[in-house]
Structure 1
Amino acid sequence: MKKLLIGWLILITACQSASSTPIPESPTATIQPPPETATATTTRSATPSPTLTLTPVPKYFTEEFNSDMSAWVSFQTAGETTPTATIENDMLRVDISSRDTWYYAIHNSNEYKNVSISAKFNGAPSGSAGVICNYSESGWYEFNLASDGTYSILLGQSLADGIAKYIPITTDAASYLQAGNLSYEIGLACQENFLLLYINGTLIRNIDVSNYGLPDGKIGITASSFTEPMTAYFEWIKVSE
């Protein structure tokens, strides 16, 4: 019986082996590269950059301290602390916190051979304020009104950073000045070899400066302290022929 069963199983196995169909190998797929994408070329027209035109600073003008102050450069001589200058209520405020300190602001845009500069200022409690002409590397003329009731013309010469030499050309009192007062309109006309001095619109003196050799230069303003700190306010500055 066992032999019959074994023979039957062998027959079935043989039939299954004969009818089995092998699985064919899958064909290898050839992957084609994607078509190249056309690159769009954009041509841009060059847009010219705008040309910046600098507005020249007028040769003659009135400064009322309500616009650009970039044309002014400042420096000091002597003094232990640095003066500060700010715009306040359409005025230039100069605070000098140490004694014997000189502050200068020079308008750096133009040079003049013949020019008039005037300014309206007030200061307290003591010191001086004034205007400058013919400023250059060789020196400058400055006309100052002082709180002690005097005026002066000085020839200033820069010796080093923060150091200057002053040559007095004239110092005097005037009936237009009052001791303890530092509120005036000052004017200085630099004409060829002469300096014309004005206080409150009145010509007080004409000085020959032909021996000092400063024929031209820039204009500016100045303020200084004496024995104590001071504050000066410049309301306006006018530059004319």
Structure 2
Amino acid sequence: MDKRIVKPFITLILLLSLVSLACNLPFLTKATATSTAGEATVAPSKKTGAVTKLSDVQKAVVQIESEGTFMDPEFGLQVNSAGRGSGFIIDPDGYAVTNNHVVTGAALVKVWVNGESEPRNARVVAYSECNDLAVIKIEGSDFSYLDWYDGEITTGMEIYLAGFPLGEPEFSLTKGIISKTRASGDTSWTAISGGVLGHDATGNPGNSGGPLVTSDGKVVGIHFASRKDANQYFAISESTAKSVVADLMKGQDVDSIGVNGSVVSNDDGSITGVWVASVASGSAADKAGIKPGDLIVQLENLVVGTDGTMADYCSVIRTHDSDSTLSVTVWRWSTGEILEGQLNGRELEVTGTFDDSMSSSSSSADSSSTSSTSEAQPYFTDEFDDSSDMNNYSYFMMSGDADDPNMNIYTENGQLVFDLNGPELWPYLTYDPYTYYDTEVDFEAENLGNNNNNVSIICRYDPDRGWYEFNIANNGLYNILYYDALVDHAYKRLFDGGSTSIHMGRATNQYTAICKGDSLSLYINGVLARTVHDSNLSQGQIGISVSSFEDYPVLVNVNWLTISEP
């Protein structure tokens, strides 16, 4: 027979969020990659040179260029690319605030201060990806700096946006008012917890990280996003930023795993995740083995990005300590691999593959739908004789290697033979031409060996979502399972039991599985063993399986297989 491995995922077409960044995201404007974050810091010095009037704000506002190599979800690998944003100095020793998406993951950070013709080097002190904040340390001392505003922020309050829009070297100052004092902070690249301000001071790409100031130069917020089509601009409120920045100045990352990325999805939203543009060296993400170009699809077994924002992703991070061990699942687009591991725990390892040539199964209003195999029938009895077309079947493995010479599936003398001569071999044989809503599967299995084994019927098999499995052992036990391929990638027991109807040992048994609506029924030699109810899956292919365990060989002949309407 044709041994085709079923690869379970569909082509991902990446779509970026409609909400645009107020400055060019590094992975959208050819900018960042690996970082030097996390160096030891010194305590800030006694403050001198604080700006007290609007005309002096320019002295403390800086232009930042981040350069490195990163992975763009649309254009691929971008080598030695640079992008620019803004920031502002908060201490005379050169500590400055900007956005996480401006600098995190950069190999080289340069800063222009107060009209200087040559840039200064800077290092990333710490970052907060879920507050879109970072602190950098600029080379030098005795800088002018900005203080935080300590009054009440009200709607209609007059403010000014300072920065370097469009990557141009000329300082810019635009005027506006606070339009909202409690705007949403959830975007495709961050999810700010706390105060977010809406304002109408015009911003452009390159303004991100720049300060929103009062007429006397006090910082009201940090500009981070815009919706130019609606003339709406957004800033992180000083009430949110101050406490985060205080920790960042101590070299403590906040609400971060060390990723610079954005939520993406496929056309129908069935696949979502956080696309990793760059990773900070030495971060939890880096130590786990996450790389630029990975798609983080699950964090602590929660599918992330389903609403188009980082809200769920950041909620998981915020509800755990920075050194907590968190499970993570990523898809590595460059290799087609699925990897699972832990942040602050075991490194990522390959647990599966996805095939970008696969597409979703078709469906119809009938109880089955067909593929291009025109001769295949939806309902039939297969006696595995010369007329059987084994090209209508393929198999995949849940344990063991498909190329293992000890694993053999073939037809002989009008029987389908599972000949397993090794331990822990779990092949699943599926009937490929049709998917089914409600169906009945019957087959007769003859156990010719003495060793413990399982035979199984599966229904509603969908490589993207999972399947139901009716699993019968030749020792008198059985269980009904749901394999969750979407979230947990694990078997979930719907029922465990035993039956005196099972002919144990070297014997022949007839098994029936009926999948109808949310009812799943198992019959053993004509006797109803159990009906359970589950609504996770509604359609899919059918199949059968035989499994070996510690003892082998296992030899099971399937005499016939029938697929019918229930």
TM norm. shorter chain > 0.5: yes
C-alpha contact (below 8 Å) 2:502/2:525 kept by paired residues: no
Taking structure 1 as reference, are residues 188 and 146 closer, same or farther at Cα in structure 2, changes over 3 Å only? same
User: How many Å separate the matches in 2 of 1:223 and 1:115?
Assistant: 21
C-alpha contact (below 8 Å) 1:131/1:143 kept by paired residues: yes
Higher strand share: 1
Which of 492, 495, 498 aligns to 1:167? It is 492
C-alpha contact (below 8 Å) 2:440/2:564 kept by paired residues: yes
Which of 188, 206, 209 aligns to 2:531? It is 206
Structure 1: runs of 5 or more not aligned? 1-52
User: How many Å separate the matches in 1 of 2:470 and 2:373?
Assistant: 33
Letter in 2 for 1:134: R
User: How many Å separate the matches in 1 of 2:503 and 2:413?
Assistant: 26
User: How many Å separate the matches in 1 of 2:548 and 2:517?
Assistant: 31
Match of 2:540 in 1: 217
Match of 2:415 in 1: 91
Which of 222, 236, 241 aligns to 2:560? It is 236
Taking structure 1 as reference, are residues 197 and 54 closer, same or farther at Cα in structure 2, changes over 3 Å only? closer
C-alpha contact (below 8 Å) 1:119/1:187 kept by paired residues: yes
Match of 2:549 in 1: 226
User: How many Å separate the matches in 1 of 2:512 and 2:477?
Assistant: 15
Match of 2:395 in 1: 74
Letter in 1 for 2:426: W
User: How many Å separate the matches in 1 of 2:497 and 2:433?
Assistant: 33
Which of 377, 383, 389 aligns to 1:64? It is 383
**Aligned pairs (5 A) from 1:1-241:** 55-66=374-385, 67-79=388-400, 81=404, 83-123=407-447, 124-125=449-450, 126-137=452-463, 138-158=465-485, 165-210=490-535, 213-229=536-552, 230-241=554-565
Deviation at 1:198, TM superposition (A): 0.6
Deviation at 1:176, TM superposition (A): 0.6
Letter in 2 for 1:225: S
Percent identity reads 30
How many correspondences in the alignment? 183
**Based on CA coordinates, which of the two structures has the bigger radius of gyration?**
1
Match of 1:14 in 2: none
Tell me the secondary structure at the aligned position of residue 70 of structure 1: helix
Deviation at 1:180, TM superposition (A): 2.6
Match of 1:29 in 2: none
Letter in 1 for 2:409: A
Letter in 1 for 2:520: L
Tell me the secondary structure at the aligned position of residue 180 of structure 1: coil
C-alpha contact (below 8 Å) 2:503/2:509 kept by paired residues: no
Match of 1:32 in 2: none
Letter in 2 for 1:136: D
Q: Which has the higher contact order (CA 8 A, sep 6+)?
A: 1
Letter in 1 for 2:510: E
Deviation at 1:142, TM superposition (A): 1.1
Deviation at 1:99, TM superposition (A): 1.3
User: How many Å separate the matches in 2 of 1:219 and 1:74?
Assistant: 12
User: How many Å separate the matches in 1 of 2:473 and 2:505?
Assistant: 9
Match of 1:8 in 2: none
Deviation at 1:231, TM superposition (A): 1.2
C-alpha contact (below 8 Å) 2:441/2:563 kept by paired residues: yes
Letter in 1 for 2:462: S
Deviation at 1:146, TM superposition (A): 0.3
Runs of 4+ aligned residues of structure 1 deviating over 6 Å after TM superposition are: none
Match of 2:184 in 1: none
User: How many Å separate the matches in 2 of 1:172 and 1:183?
Assistant: 20
Letter in 1 for 2:453: G
Tell me the secondary structure at the aligned position of residue 391 of structure 2: coil
Deviation at 1:181, TM superposition (A): 4.5
Deviation at 1:182, TM superposition (A): 4.9
Taking structure 1 as reference, are residues 171 and 97 closer, same or farther at Cα in structure 2, changes over 3 Å only? same
Q: Deviations over 1:24-69 (max 9, x none)?
A: xxxxxxxxxxxxxxxxxxxxxxxxxxxxx96431111111111211
User: How many Å separate the matches in 1 of 2:558 and 2:426?
Assistant: 15
- TM-score (normalised: structure 2): 0.31
User: How many Å separate the matches in 2 of 1:181 and 1:151?
Assistant: 17
Deviation at 1:179, TM superposition (A): 4.1
Deviation at 1:168, TM superposition (A): 1.6
Taking structure 1 as reference, are residues 54 and 74 closer, same or farther at Cα in structure 2, changes over 3 Å only? closer
User: How many Å separate the matches in 1 of 2:506 and 2:480?
Assistant: 19
User: How many Å separate the matches in 1 of 2:564 and 2:516?
Assistant: 12
RMSD: 1.9
C-alpha contact (below 8 Å) 1:145/1:182 kept by paired residues: no
Letter in 2 for 1:153: I
Taking structure 1 as reference, are residues 76 and 182 closer, same or farther at Cα in structure 2, changes over 3 Å only? farther
Taking structure 1 as reference, are residues 178 and 235 closer, same or farther at Cα in structure 2, changes over 3 Å only? closer
C-alpha contact (below 8 Å) 2:408/2:419 kept by paired residues: yes
